[in-house]
Structure 1
């Protein structure tokens, strides 16, 4: 089993945890690679999204050996057995804690800004990562969620080693995994695109997950916004998935024509779209090709075919209430520009 990218993995994982919808669930993504996966899951469940910030406490002279972990809210987990075996002094432990706590607080400010962490008390917490290798970080995340008051902890990942359940033990109340092969070597081997997720994408995921209010409006009037919703774009005979975002008092809408090998989930295009939204422009991100069409690489470079899809998407966009009366522009990348 292979995943095209983290976004597709998140969509498929969301189907496996659909039973959690409506259960007062909070989705926590493990930065950085787990956050795009978690965003898709949170969107499908209609649940709030946040990050679960974990910092491993590496033993002196053996940083790969975890002697504990730190989490937000003053959560502290220490493995006394490792401390004794490694001969760690109280001073060394305190120094490691101070160092990692500073990193933890810095990342919290970077990712959330002025927003506070989503409360977990008495709720079901769904911890999501892009995969499990050793399980150390996932175990720490589950324990931290529990320490922050979670009533139930579920860990969900697209891929993990076949013995992953034994590695996690009882740290989670429920374990969900799409693929647990025996020949597991690394998480990245099960993704076609496993490019690094950067801090900007984590911030964008969290910002996009903030609920957008919809204001009351007269019948037939263009929504005052903001509007941010998944859409099905009718382009000729095909229906293509997309994301339509229109800020309040938008001055226009930009339709994105992504390049070869990319999709509506392109981190670059999503960052550009986020910038346009902040500047008061709406955006339509959508896939130019259906999944079965993408398998034929000739379609990726068929400019006439892609132009026809963009034309059809434009006609659909002009018919949407959110875009009525707004000028439409285009942002094209690579073959999308052609």
Structure 2
């Protein structure tokens, strides 16, 4: 049985879960006089991506605080795909963005299943895909955002590494590196796997080619931005700093915890989710069924950005959406649990995901 056919039932459940989320969002949006497709395709960062797709780079916005936001902070792969879809089909930028994201989400779901099956068997893989669909921030997988594209690249890169397809893994890493700032995690996984292979005396030309090629997407864009800003090595970092995003080794979280009671609900939920992600990573690292090195490196690199980065605290769970291996311990446990227990847990997660996802897009004044 082919990989796609084995994954099809799990992906069907995934699509059912995400469709239920879309229905809940549509119902509440119409009740409050808002357009659900507009919320999904033309909110927050989606506007920047569709602007790049339509006009290229060059937009700078002056905020009331005096800081400037530049569209150079956004990596090029997603807007390039949006531009291509807009050219091929009679759809607007937001509509094209949704088509790209929805297609990437399906591709990602198949990739998550492929990795889960490789590491824990078919039953664990099915539960893993469903858990990923029911995360509190999984509504982002239905939006014109870049997380679905990064998750697809990351999942299939890991599968390629686990199955010895080095050049495919490198290609996926280059794509991921052109998609998001934290796409470096995919290249890190390839480089770690290549280094391990070389140390074990298995450094074929494909291994060397993969290790040397994987970082080129991410590094190429960062250096290109640096050349545009006049600071080759530090330009992109400075640009992110103007957006209020910088790496402070978690000091921002410490400051936030001192005033968390007075913050909006998304901040409190984000703190809980990131804390849970740290616990899950420890379980992944120390568990009896510890996954191979590239999976740990990929997941740890994504977690590092969420924990060590300052700013955009309400969006940290979104940054963790591609880190699906964090769910492996829970997927293994649910796969072995009694059917009644598994159904109860998944039902509760479904309710939480639908309600919280709808709340994020209809009642919150910050980017999810």
TM-score class, shorter: under 0.3
Q: Counting strand residues as a fraction of each chain, which structure ranks higher?
A: 1
Q: Which of these two proteins has the greater Rg computed from alpha carbons?
A: 1
Normalising by structure 2, what TM-score? 0.24
Please report the TM-score for the alignment, with normalisation by the length of structure 1.
0.25
Higher relative contact order (CA 8 A, sep 6+): 2
Choose between structure 1 and 2: higher helix proportion: 2
